[in-house]
Amino acid sequence: MKILEVKSLSIPEVKVIRFARFCDSRGYFSEHFRKSDLKNHPDTKDVFQRIEFLQMNESFSVPGVIRGLHFQWNPFMGKLVRTLSGHMIDIFLDIRKGSPNFGRAAMYDMPSERTKDYCEWIWVPPGFAHGNFFEAESAIEYLCSGEYSQGCEAGISPLAGDIDWALCDKDLKARFDKIASGGMIITDKDRNGFTLENWIKDGRSDNFTKEM
């Protein structure tokens, strides 16, 4: 895995890891994951020294789908996510009590561009609610640092009026709003998820703190 760049986003605990593709007239080859590289690279080792990936998921979405914003405890689950095909825009929301960014959400644009000589992962650590929306038929893959635990999950509605979007790229937020107001495809569970205010009142929210 040839790591080209690691950058922190507007909420710095969320990272984007750019890795190389080796392109020629046939197409490209990419080693998109190697545990030792993530654990030893100077810009990722502080994060991934203590992370083990225990589950891999793949999902497919049609245009106009909004998913999230999901999180889990017992065990906690961080996600390393990439776009396999199509166009995903990833969404992350800080739910760590005491964090200076608590209640703030942002987005990152992750189209699949097969002619480029790189691809990217986004790392959304435990303590964040995670989701995405899609502007084209899209397949994504994500590696999880915890196994799914039924009964130990919840979600903030991506439509909740008390999410703070001040750190979010304005163009990405406008694209989200366009889908949200124009026939979005979203489950009732996600649409009717917690508001931040109601989640804070729930005792389970105490699982998530800035010390995570």
Distance of CA 210 to the CA centre of its chain: 18
Told to judge if 70 belongs to the known catalytic residues of this protein, a careful annotator would answer yes
Strands (E) across the chain are located at 3-8, 15-20, 22-24, 27-29, 55-61, 66-72, 79-85, 87-94, 105-111, 118-124, 128-134, 138-144, 153-155
The active-site residue out of 87, 108, 130, 142 is 142
Say how many CA atoms lie within 13 Å of 129 toward its Cβ: 30
Structure tokens at 146: 């915890």
The active-site residue out of 28, 41, 70, 87 is 70
191: three-class secondary structure by DSSP: helix
Residues 6+ apart with CB under 8 A from 142: 56, 57, 58, 79, 80, 81, 82
Spatial CA neighbour of 34 closest among 48, 46, 24, 23: 48
Strands 105-111 and 87-94: antiparallel
Told to judge if 142 belongs to the known catalytic residues of this protein, a careful annotator would answer yes
Spatial CA neighbour of 3 closest among 20, 16, 25, 15: 20
Question: Are 32 and 108 within 8 A, CB to CB?
Answer: no
Residues that are catalytic: 70, 142
